[in-house]
Amino acid sequence: MWSPTEYTERLLNPLTDVIVGMERVGVPFDMDAASDLLRVVKRDEALSQEALLDWTSAVDYLGAEVPPNWGSWQQLQYFLYTPMGLNLPPALYWKKGRTGWVERDDGEYIEEWTDEGEFKTDDVALSWLGKRHPQYADCLGAIQDLRWQQRVRTYLETWLGLAVRHAGPHGQAWHWLHPSFGLASDRDERAGARTGRFAVKNPALQQVPVRGDNYGLRRLFRAPPGSEWVVLDYSQLEVVILAHICNKLFGTDDLVKRCRPGQPDMHSLTAKYVFGDILGDARLKAMDVGDIKKQASTERDLVKAVRYGLNYGKGARGFGDTLFDTKGEALGEEKAQTVIDALLDFDPEIRQYQAWSRERVVEWRGAVSLLGRFSPLPDATSWKKGERNRAYRQFLNYAMQAGGQEVTALGMIAAAPLMAAINAPQILQVHDENCFLAEAGQGGEAKKVALEAMLNCVELAAPLGASGGVGPSWGEAKH
């Protein structure tokens, strides 16, 4: 733990210098490719609109001349459930309204909820409806497509509107985006998150689509001719932090061992254990868990999702609603609890850490980070159970998220002078990922230098891991 003075001098002040450097250099952006892509997206968007127009006329929008505005969830909801007459989705897709507080027999106050309310129209709900009503699957799919296309168009228009042209660190004229890091530039003066993570705004480059992106948006963030994009990611940084914390608290090293280099992939190992050894044979059969899949993903992805959800306090109720079997039905609380128990049996340290956190959050009414920052959580002693539970979940998360941010910050600080020496400045940070711009042919060397700095910036009980890549753009630099 560091003193406030140490924290300021060794982390906050030098981090500010790195941030100022990133703001000055900017993020290279391929405007020509973006303009071309914008035309493509607009065309796709028009096709989706056209397909939907057929649907609206086919079902006769209850006599109204005007088709729904697909950007309005209220109008969409009306369209789906009244003119189209789709069956009601299960309870988990309802938006419920709070009616008040009730005192239970044991004196505990809990919130009371009503089933009356509006239907959700988010992506999960639309997918559910599409499965339940195959004859409307195309229509619902077109709505989902249109939403994505509209979103992508908005991204592109925003970036195109913000890009400026000037010479980069290696001398070439190119287009650049200059987001604000940390302290925001608009009316919101918050300096990033309470956990210490900082924000990247105008544009929000920490949210550039990557999962399921069919347009290749990250390829638009392209190094100028004569430069190369270098990216490095910490591997499961928050798990490493958790392993370190457990080692310090309980003297155990089960998680630590699993982070060591040369160990089998953590999530695959866990999946094999949870679905094979633990949920094998009798228990597996009894709960029909052999069919468990999270949409089309693998058991590894499911176990990974459960591990991260658990780390942040997600419970059987939540997992029961967000994990699905192969039939597309929600797993349910009971089966989800079985999966959770299996993972906790595999990693007893997590159970220990959760019990410890339950006590500490009440005692401290706050949480402490790896290097000693304190985050107040006064709700830990609220008379409302929901607020107490939330404070507990925030406590769980704070240790890992704040710790991860501190490690990343120290890595950036350690890398900065070394990268300056080889003319490869940092241009972006996305929580556990650092991007640099190297001179052509120097990407490999730059990657080595940055990796070394990132891995050795702090001494933890569990070893840090990272991997990286070099390429002409952000999208193509991935390993």
CB of 105 to DNA, least distance (A): 18
Question: The tokens of 479 are what?
Answer: 């390993």
Name beta bridge partners: 111. 101
One-letter amino acid at 417 equals P
DSSP secondary structure letters along 320-385:
HHH-BBTTS-B--HHHHHHHHHHHHHH-HHHHHHHHHHHHHHHHHSEEE-TTS-EEE-GGGG-SBH
| HSE-up (13 A, CA, CB side) for residue 78 | 12
Smallest distance, Å, CB 434 to DNA?
Answer: 11
Report the residue number, 72 or 263, with the smaller CB distance to DNA: 72
Name which of 23 and 253 has its Cβ closer to DNA: 23
Q: Which is nearer to DNA, 252 or 354 (CB)?
A: 354
Q: With respect to DNA, which residue has the nearer C-beta, 169 or 371?
A: 371
Q: How far is the CB of 170 from DNA (least distance, A)?
A: 26
CB nearer to DNA: give 201 or 373: 201
Measured from the CB atom, is 69 or 298 closer to DNA? 69
Give the residue carrying structure tokens 């992508």: 152
What's the min distance (Å) between Cβ of 282 and DNA?
28
CB of 74 to DNA, least distance (A): 4
In whole angstroms, the minimum distance from the beta carbon of 152 to DNA comes to: 8
What's at 130, amino acid-wise? G
Of 141, 150, 138, give the one whose Cα is nearest residue 72. 150
Alpha helix stretches (DSSP H) within 27-71: 31-59
Residue 25 vs 336, nearer CB to DNA: 336
138-171 burial code (b ≥16 CB/10 A, e <16): ebbebbbbbbbbbebbebbeebbeebeeeebbbe
Beta carbon of residue 439, minimum distance to DNA (angstroms, whole number)? 26
The alpha-carbon radius of gyration of the chain (Å, integer) is 25
